[in-house]
Structure 1
Amino acid sequence: MRSIRAAAVGAVTMSLALAASACGGGSSSGGGSNDSPKELTYWASNQGASVEVDKKVLQPELDKFEKETGIKVKLEVVPWSDLLNRILTATTSGQGPDILNIGNTWSASLQATGALLPWDAKNFDKIGGKDRFVESALGSTGVEGQDPAAVPLYSMAYALYYNKQMFADAGVTKPPATWDELVETGKKISGDGKWALGAEGSNLSNNIHQVFVLGKQHGADFFTADGKPDFTSEGAVAAVKQYVDLMAKDKVIAPGNAEYAQNQSLSDFAKGKTAMVLWQTASATFKTMGMKEDEWGVAPAPVASGTPGAGQATNSMVAGINMAVFKNTDNVDGATKFVKFMTSDAEQKILNEAYGSIPPVKAAQTDPAFNTQATAVLRETLATSAAALPQVPDESQFETAVGTAVKELFADAAAGRAVTAESVKEKLAKAQQQMPTK
């Protein structure tokens, strides 16, 4: 464990160097500097259409917690463009919040730093037990065989959202089930200032999610069985090229999407500029952006051929948000009480319904709110055709390195530069060279 942790510290340093321009600089009110046991600091991830939307969702629940416990929670909603670097800075400086949200794909990387409170049996008992949570959500909470580094908060999956009117106007009668069908549909829709598919070419995490799923469809995992980077395999190269080719070759993604990183593709979709978008649990965001529920539909994300499902085709990563506690908080008891509150059956229904996500708590999933058009496809995907990203200590560095490679390839496509198997492999080889050496 000690050697893993030492390697992880080096990995964290590399990740910070790679993404220093996006670094938010950490928190001035860290968990280790809390003056009062009656106050907690909480970094929440940006789940809604904006930071302000998140504050409106979360603040009433935090006030409810304060009324029940007497503990005030100071909230900061951190944009996704800053979140990982803020967390990494906090793990090295010791100046972080008491509680924070983390993308579930980062669990193993942050676990390896040793900065997060382990969720052993004793800590799980404090929040009602580990068996309250669904198995797929627990599978993205840290390295297999170790106590989880975090607790599931929101479960999500990718799906294909489509504009019903734009489909009807183009004579398209059903959503595409395969990538070939998506491109064929896209060519019918694109033109006159309208585009078929939205993307976030500068969003590193989203890039990773998309190419990981395509990698699974091409038989690649990006890591070997023993956790070593494997970015230049034939399947990995094919996956990245297929994704970027949606802009470079197939012309169904607008070149301007190469610069998108903060929900701009969702805004284009809501305004009728784009007919489709691949996204995690987007329904609540569409509502916030002024769309009516009958204006859009949702279908499983495309696969190479056939129907997605167990043993057939992966069409989503196991997406989600976990809650973690910084080990150096001076209020472990208050922090675990807050995690218990946020993962209670009642709060899980309130929060996940607000965000259009799926509760990772079994009892909360039975609520009718999670069996609607917006959520039924997501539940089915999580149950049958989603795969967890590799839970390896270097996962966050993988997101930075390969996510940046995909970003650069989108920039090439937008500028009219050729995107070839050779240029893709060259970018991925460079990304692999940036990974920490053991």
Structure 2
Amino acid sequence: MKKLLVLMSMMVLSLALVACSGGDEGESADGEKTLKVWAMGEEGKKLKDFVKDFEENNPKITVDVQAIPWGKAHDKLLTAVASGNGPDVLQIGTTWVPEFAEAGAFKDLSEYMDDYESFNKDNFFDGSVSTMKYNDQVVGVPWYVDTRVMYYRTDLLKEAGFDQAPDTWSELKDAAKKLADRGEGQYGIDIDRNDQINPFIFAWQNGYEADLANKDLNFESPEFKEAMEYYVSYFEQGLSQKEKGGDIIQGFKTGKKPIFFSGPWMIDIIQDKAPGIEGKWATAVMPKKESRTSSMGGSNLAVFHNTDKVDASLKFISYMTQVDTQLDWLETSNTLPSRTEAWEDSALKDDPMYETFGKQLEQTKPGIQTEQFERIAQELLATLEKVVVGDADLEKELEKFNKEAQELITED
């Protein structure tokens, strides 16, 4: 909150110097407009050429795409909010939505929702819909999505007595034990301890829910504690590598790490870097405890709060969230469509790898929708690190973590 107060103070001071993001410079005398779009990572690079079709169909709008590396995006957005000098349209990662919405970065789109069919919340997976809103405002529209599923070596699982992917928590633990028993240096599964969403996935599968309405993260609940015990047990029992190192693709290729959880980007990576195991691996939805819940990731498209090109911005977002556009974008970028209707297309429905993601996306949750989520998630990883690597007591460390996390969301 203190950081946001500082930002807001800076914003007030800067408004006299910077009235709006585009100003009059973005529009010519005959009504032609230049729409500034900030997009992140590889998507930003590919979007520069992709928007040409939109420009052809909207000859008075030129789209100026600035590709921003993900590593620099957060600070750049903070600066834009503080100065008021931002883009017209921006890509925003789903876990960043609460933080920047709280800072006032986005224009409320509530009054425009009925004007654009592609903005209808019924078009999207439930896990995405919750990222569209902050308090009573609509702050963005889902652009693309991702989630985590299980990648597994079908041949090695079969040798261990499993004709299909582990379907439950107990089956996963059983399979991991059998695979780890193959010999020294062999593991049953790889759980990435640097991935901040993994512990929450286990917690959601065990029935955990945060109660943000009452500012209670519920990290003291049995559902959360049991999930963390289950998570830690894979490292304590030698089923997942505790030490750093060991590339997951190499480990998957050699069979040293025959099961792992990851997103859709891994499909192309495995096919490219491990062609020798073609036909020996597959994807599956998450194993079930109380549910099969996985994470809802991806990015939304939002309108910067003080743009003077609202109509052009909305028209661009509408274009990017059309079903046909999303299927073209899938072919261009390998990112998954946010529109559920797009998943009826044969490019996704008839591909067994992508079909898995379509099923998993029906059971997802985004990161806890508080502006403090990133800090909370990193605190949890640090807590689990003390237990896994430092042999600290899990119950005591979770007590400390819960206290620190509660202070984060209740601070003035």
Q: Normalising by structure 1, what TM-score? A: 0.75
* Aligned pairs for 1:14-413 within 5 A: 32=21, 35-37=25-27, 38-46=33-41, 51=42, 54=43, 57-69=46-58, 70-79=61-70, 81-122=71-112, 125-126=115-116, 128-130=118-120, 133-134=123-124, 136=126, 137-143=128-134, 146-168=136-158, 170=160, 172-190=162-180, 192-203=184-195, 207=196, 209-247=197-235, 249-257=236-244, 265=248, 269=252, 273-286=256-269, 289-291=272-274, 294-304=279-289, 313-353=291-331, 357-371=335-349, 372-383=351-362, 385-391=363-369, 395-401=370-376, 403-413=377-387
Q: Percent identity?
A: 22
Contact 1:256 1:414 in 2 (8 A): no
**Partner amino acid, structure 2, of 1:240:** M
Contact 2:46 2:332 in 1 (8 A): yes
Deviations 1:125-163 (A, max 9, x none): 24655267235132321136x231000111333211112
SS in 1 for 2:134: coil
1:270, 1:149 → 2: CA distance? Answer: 42
Q: Does 1:426 align with 2:400?
A: yes
1:89, 1:266 → 2: CA distance? Answer: 37
Contact 2:154 2:164 in 1 (8 A): no
Q: Normalising by structure 2, what TM-score? A: 0.79
CA 1:345–1:397 in structure 2 vs 1: closer, same or farther (change >3 Å)?
same
What is the RMSD computed on CA atoms of the aligned residues? 3.5
Contact 1:315 1:386 in 2 (8 A): yes
Contact 1:298 1:374 in 2 (8 A): yes
Where does structure 2 lack aligned partners over 5 or more consecutive residues? 8-17, 28-32
SS in 2 for 1:417: coil
1:288, 1:102 → 2: CA distance? Answer: 29
SS in 1 for 2:298: strand
1:88, 1:195 → 2: CA distance? Answer: 42
Count of aligned positions: 388
Contact 1:199 1:278 in 2 (8 A): yes
Contact 2:153 2:281 in 1 (8 A): yes
Contact 2:124 2:339 in 1 (8 A): yes
CA 1:314–1:153 in structure 2 vs 1: closer, same or farther (change >3 Å)?
same
**Partner amino acid, structure 1, of 2:372:** Q
CA 1:416–1:168 in structure 2 vs 1: closer, same or farther (change >3 Å)?
farther
Q: Compute the displacement of 1:288 (Å).
A: 6.6
Greater Rg over alpha carbons, structure = 2
Match of residue 20 from structure 1: none
1:289, 1:410 → 2: CA distance? Answer: 33
Question: Deviation above 6 Å: which 4+ runs of structure 1?
Answer: none
Q: Compute the displacement of 1:327 (Å).
A: 1.3
2:121, 2:234 → 1: CA distance? Answer: 42
**Partner amino acid, structure 2, of 1:58:** L
Contact 1:106 1:396 in 2 (8 A): yes
CA 1:436–1:99 in structure 2 vs 1: closer, same or farther (change >3 Å)?
farther
SS in 2 for 1:73: strand
Contact 1:270 1:286 in 2 (8 A): no
Contact 1:176 1:182 in 2 (8 A): yes
Q: Compute the displacement of 1:115 (Å).
A: 1.6
Q: Compute the displacement of 1:416 (Å).
A: 4.3
Deviations 1:173-215 (A, max 9, x none): 3221222322322233345544333333234xxx2x3333322
